[in-house]
Amino acid sequence: MTHHTANAQPPCDVTTFEAADQRQARSQFPRGLHQPEGSFRFAMDALLLARFALPAATSKKERTVADLGTGCGVVALAMLLDAPQLTATGLDIDPALTAAAQANAETLGLAERFTARTADLADIRNALPAESFDLVVSNPPYRRADQGRHAATQQRTNALFETAGGLETFVNAAGYLVRNKGRFCCIYPAERLAELMNALTAARLEPKHLRMVHSKTDREAVLVLLEARKNANSGCTIHPPLILYSGEGEATTLTPQALAFCPHLACNARGHQPTGDSA
pLDDT at site 4? 47
pLDDT tens digits in sequence order for the chain, 279 residues long = 444 444 555 554 546 657 888 999 999 999 989 988 866 678 899 999 999 999 776 666 899 999 999 999 999 999 999 999 999 999 999 999 999 999 999 999 999 999 999 999 999 999 999 999 999 999 998 765 555 554 445 554 444 444 555 899 999 999 999 999 999 999 999 999 999 999 999 999 999 999 999 999 999 999 999 999 999 999 999 999 999 999 999 899 999 999 999 999 998 654 444 444 443
pLDDT at site 160? 46
Cβ atoms of residues 75 and 68 within 8 Å: no
* Positions of E strands within the chain: 64-68, 87-92, 114-118, 133-138, 178-189, 205-214, 221-230, 237-238, 242-243, 245-246, 253-254
- 273/279 Cα distance (integer angstroms): 14
Cβ atoms of residues 94 and 155 within 8 Å: yes
Within 10 angstroms of residue 173's Cβ, the number of other Cβ atoms is 29
Cβ atoms of residues 267 and 30 within 8 Å: yes
pLDDT at site 19? 83
Within 10 angstroms of residue 248's Cβ, the number of other Cβ atoms is 8
Give yes or no for a cis peptide into 274 (omega within 30° of 0). Answer: no
pLDDT at site 151? 46
**Amino acid present at 186:** C
pLDDT at site 147? 55
CA distances from 29 to 41, 203, 264 (A): 14, 34, 7
pLDDT at site 271? 44
